[in-house]
Amino acid sequence: RSRILISIGESFGSADKFQKINQMLSSSDWSLKRSLDGGSAPKPLKRL
Can you tell me the distance from the alpha carbon of 23 to that of 7, in angstroms, rounded to the nearest whole number? 18
CB of 20 to another protein, least distance (A): 10
First-last CA distance in the chain: 22
Whether 31 and 41 have beta carbons less than 8 Å apart is answered as no
Does 36 contact another protein by CB under 8 A?
no
Does 37 contact another protein by CB under 8 A?
no
Does 2 contact another protein by CB under 8 A?
yes
Q: Which residues bind another protein (CB under 8 A)?
A: 1-15, 18, 21-22, 24-26, 28, 30-31, 41-42, 44-48
